[in-house]
Amino acid sequence: MKIFLVFIIGMTLALSLPNADTFSEKMEVQNAQSMFERAFSFYCSNETDEMIEAYNELIDKFAHSRNKEIKNITAQAMLNLALAYESANDTKAEQVALERIISNFIDSNESAIEAITAKALLKKAFIAANANDTKAEIETSERFIARFENRSDEDIQAALAGIMTLLGYKYTQANESRKAVDIGNKYIEKFGNSQNEYMQFQLFSNLMIISVNYMHSGEIKSALAAYQKAIDKFKNSENPNIIQELGTIVANKIEAEICNDIKPSFSDENRKIADKSEYGAFMYEFLQILYAARNESQSDKIKAFKEKYADFELKQKIGSFDFTDMDRWQNSLKNPAKERVKECIDALKEFMER
């Protein structure tokens, strides 16, 4: 009887105690939380070195934990550590901390950790931009898109739109025209029908990126189609930035048409669009003179044009102007048309030399 009672008592005690593994895990979570709070207390008291040491201690201890709560704590600790290094102006250490987040959690589907991973990727892209490291910007942007392109979260979608546009610009800078066109078309497919004002502005930017890169690739008809798509889509826009850029697009389209022996799209509608932009109005009028110079002298009109725009500082408006296509078109002509066209182009070059 005594033996049986001892057995019963033993079983009762065993059943009343928490599972050993569960108990140990709870203690680990509490330990991680306590270490996090300790590190954060150093932040509150502006003790940066102690904070960095405390976060590193937590991360080293729990980096490989499979517990969901501990993973969340560790990911947040890694992000806070990166911010601490940023405060200490230690960019290299900050990048290492950000990469550690990405490497550890890029495949996590936990919403809180996904948000932290997205922040880490965006921050790495920002650091690369400040350092003018186009290659790093491209690599980080590609990683962000690959990870989050199928997400529907509003914040992620907005970040994705910005990153896709940024990548298009960076591909352009790196002379990766085909990639720039592809990412631009991918943007249109994904966000082209969005009514969100921010998404719409990014759409406009992507159409410009596509147009420029088609031009760089010598795909003139595709470039003109992209220009026209931007004009048709945004001609009634009230966004002041778009209004200014649209004038440039009209001018660029007509210039491309002239230089590739395509009938230029001079029209009342395009003139109205161009006139809303200082540069657009200037170039539209110049291009009319340039095109007419094929058939007759424009000396008087060039003289009047110079007087009208005597105070116009072209270089300040656009920074630089590529005369390659105009010079090529001029050289393809025969005299006397060639000389008449040269007179016009030389006049434009004078504006750039001021």
pLDDT in tens, 250-302: 999 999 999 999 999 999 999 999 999 999 999 999 999 999 999 999 999 99
Query: For the stretch 186-220, what's the b/e string if a residue is b when 16 or more beta carbons lie within 10 angstroms of its beta carbon?
Result: bbeebbeeeeeeebbbbbbbbbbbbbbbbbbeebb
pLDDT above 70 as % of the chain:
94
CA distance linking residue 148 with residue 118, whole number of Å: 8
Q: Give yes or no for a contact between 214 and 223, defined as CB atoms under 8 angstroms apart.
A: yes
7 pLDDT more than 70:
no
CA distance linking residue 41 with residue 169, whole number of Å: 42
Neighbours of 182 (CB within 10 A): 15
pLDDT band for position 9 (cuts 50, 70, 90): very low
Q: Give yes or no for a contact between 231 and 249, defined as CB atoms under 8 angstroms apart.
A: yes
pLDDT band for position 40 (cuts 50, 70, 90): confident
pLDDT band for position 23 (cuts 50, 70, 90): low
Q: Give yes or no for a contact between 233 and 207, defined as CB atoms under 8 angstroms apart.
A: yes
- Mean pLDDT value of segment 192-199: 91
* HSE toward the beta carbon, residue 282, CA cutoff 13 A: 21
Question: Would you give the DSSP letter of residue 4?
Answer: H
pTM: 0.82
CA distance linking residue 265 with residue 287, whole number of Å: 11
Q: Please indicate whether residue 344 or residue 44 has the higher confidence score (pLDDT).
A: 344
CA distances from 313 to 52, 88, 138, 354 (A): 52, 44, 34, 7
20 pLDDT more than 50:
no
- Go through the domains of the chain in sequence order and give each one's CATH number: 27-148 (1.25.40.10), 235-354 (no CATH)
Report helix angle 299-308 to 337-352, nearest 10: 10
Q: Give yes or no for a contact between 326 and 319, defined as CB atoms under 8 angstroms apart.
A: no
Measured in degrees and rounded to the nearest 5, phi and psi for residue 212 equal -60, -40
Report helix angle 324-332 to 337-352, nearest 10: 160
Tokens, residue 278: 């200082």
pLDDT in tens, 210-257: 999 999 999 999 999 999 999 999 999 999 999 999 999 999 999 999
pLDDT above 90 as % of the chain:
75
The region of weakest confidence among 1-10, 23-32, 87-96, 267-276 is 1-10
Q: Give yes or no for a contact between 191 and 149, defined as CB atoms under 8 angstroms apart.
A: no
DSSP string covering 123-153, please?
A: HHHHHHHHTT-HHHHHHHHHHHHHHHTT---
Polymer length of the chain: 354
pLDDT band for position 8 (cuts 50, 70, 90): very low
pLDDT band for position 24 (cuts 50, 70, 90): confident
**Measured distance between the N- and C-terminal CA atoms of the chain, rounded to whole angstroms:** 111
Q: Give yes or no for a contact between 340 and 298, defined as CB atoms under 8 angstroms apart.
A: yes
Q: Give yes or no for a contact between 279 and 315, defined as CB atoms under 8 angstroms apart.
A: no
Q: Where does residue 119 rank: exposed (0-12), middle (13-18), buried (19+ CB within 10 A)?
A: middle
Close Cβ partners of 76 (under 8 Å, ≥ 6 residues apart): 36, 112, 116
CA distance linking residue 41 with residue 57, whole number of Å: 15
